[in-house]
Amino acid sequence: GAVVSQHPSWVICKSGTSVKIECRSLDFQATTMFWYRQFPKQSLMLMATSNEGSKATYEQGVEKDKFLINHASLTLSTLTVTSAHPEDSSFYICSASRGARVNEAFFGQGTRLTVV
């Protein structure tokens, strides 16, 4: 099946620094990518929808200035957590869609962010 790759798989950063997470669709062009956040023992929470060549659409309560999303090409979207704080520590997951059907959406393996 199609592959979506996230990088890095895990990252530890100091409080106040910024961290960039990459999401790549390896064998298809993704018109839309989604970013989720998951805290321990909780479900995935949709943060934003990223469309190639346009601004991301953020879900209610998600700070767009803190979580910068760039979808510069049909195979790459990036999420930058700016001025990270310990409460931003979480599991971040992206999905890439090559069509409107959700079974054509594939998830990355996730990125474990720990802010110390």
Partner 1 sequence: DAKTTQPPSMDCAEGRAANLPCNHSTISGNEYVYWYRQIHSQGPQYIIHGLKNNETNEMASLIITEDRKSSTLILPHATLRDTAVYYCIPYNQGGKLIFGQGTELSVKP
Only one of the segments 13-21, 60-68, 70-78, 95-103 lies at the binding site for partner 1 (rule: CB under 8 A); that segment is 95-103
Contact 98, 1 (CB under 8 A): no
Contact pick of 75, 90, 95, 113 for partner 1 (by CB under 8 A): 95
Query: What pairing do the DSSP bridges indicate for beta strands 90-97 and 76-81?
Result: unpaired
Kindly determine how many residues on this chain lie close enough to bind partner 1 according to the rule CB under 8 A: 23
Contact pick of 44, 62, 68, 74 for partner 1 (by CB under 8 A): 44
Contact pick of 24, 108, 113, 115 for partner 1 (by CB under 8 A): 108
